[in-house]
Amino acid sequence: MRIGYLGTGSWGFCLASLLSSKGYEVVSWTTKPDLANLLNSTHEHPLLPGLPCSGNIRFTTDMQDVLAGADLIVESVTSAGLRPVFTQVAKIAIPNCPIILTSKGIEQNSGLILPDVAVEVFGKNSRHQVGFLSGPGYAQEVIKGLPTSVVGSAYDAEVMRKVCDLFTTPTFRVYPNSDIRGVAFGGALKNIIAIACGVSDGLQLGSSSKAALMTRGLHEMRKLAVAEECKADTLNGLSGMGDLCVTCSSTMSRNYRFGAMMAEGLSPEEARTKIGMVVEGAYTCLSALQLAKQKGISMPISEVIFKIIEEGMNPREAVKLLMQRSIKEEHL
């Protein structure tokens, strides 16, 4: 099988390595010529020092080369970059093979989950080809072969099975879940709550505070997802609660670090620069609140994170705002 891989960040590099280790021919696309040359010569990503890729991956800036003869396409760009990249793909040719997404986010203004963005770009006839991989996994751990479990989903049952079979290894377990919308919403919304937990830890508010943020954060995630016709149980699984646990608790999470840096006094712009990678939760926060407004749903944690990022609210004032909310009966 020949796999065309779009995106060479740390997660894309890690998953391309996983696929290559299974014997698949992988050609990976990047917009950066210097990065392609470095990866072809060293087989080691600058964000993953000392962790070379397995198998034989070829890196290029030529998208036509990546797409030519591909039996399957995998995407690992960014939520904001997905539509522009897929539009570029469509100008070359509408894919006639499965298209597996691994980015997590909700498109701003349209409110579309990323699998639906793919369908909109490639046309309704492509819907049965679109699959999704999501769940709690870090490139630094997966590429080392540490045990990891995630979720594979798709609009079509056969493509869902293919996602699971394609990525499963002795140390990377992929569970099927047919609720692709729920899987996508879980992966996107947990990044906002991770920023909140980073703020909490940056302010040294303690374990009880973070436990409350994660629990009430999951409640926010589930409310919006159910309003978007997802299954509530999906948000309790690996792509919801599982991803939430790891992202809110690890310094490997850029969303968590982003929140912690702002709590320590850095501006959002300074924190982004220091992290050096896209902070998906910051992008998705606006998208989530746009959808919540349409559905008449209150998402107080997401609202204060938006105020910190976009309106310059002091993180300590944001915490006070949450604590001063009227108390209602807990319904989960």
Q: Can you give the length of the chain in residues?
A: 332
For the chain, what is the largest distance between any 2 Cα atoms, rounded to a whole number of angstroms? 59
- For strands 25-29 and 2-6, give the pairing: parallel
Produce one character per residue of 66-76: b if its CB has 16 or more CB atoms within 10 Å, e if not. Answer: bbeebebbbbb
Six token digits for residue 109: 């203004």
- Specify the 3-state DSSP secondary structure of 108: coil
CB-side neighbour CA atoms (13 Å) of 301:
28
Sign of CA dihedral 175, 177, 180, 186: negative
On the 0-12 / 13-18 / 19+ scale of CB atoms within 10 A, 329 is: exposed
Catalytic residues: 190
Give the span between the Cα atoms of 54 and 172, in whole angstroms.
14
- For strands 57-60 and 148-154, give the pairing: unpaired
- Radius of gyration in angstroms for the set of CA atoms belonging to the chain, rounded to a whole number: 19
Six token digits for residue 238: 């690996």
CB-side neighbour CA atoms (13 Å) of 65:
11
- Specify the 3-state DSSP secondary structure of 323: helix
Give the span between the Cα atoms of 204 and 133, in whole angstroms.
34
On the 0-12 / 13-18 / 19+ scale of CB atoms within 10 A, 235 is: buried
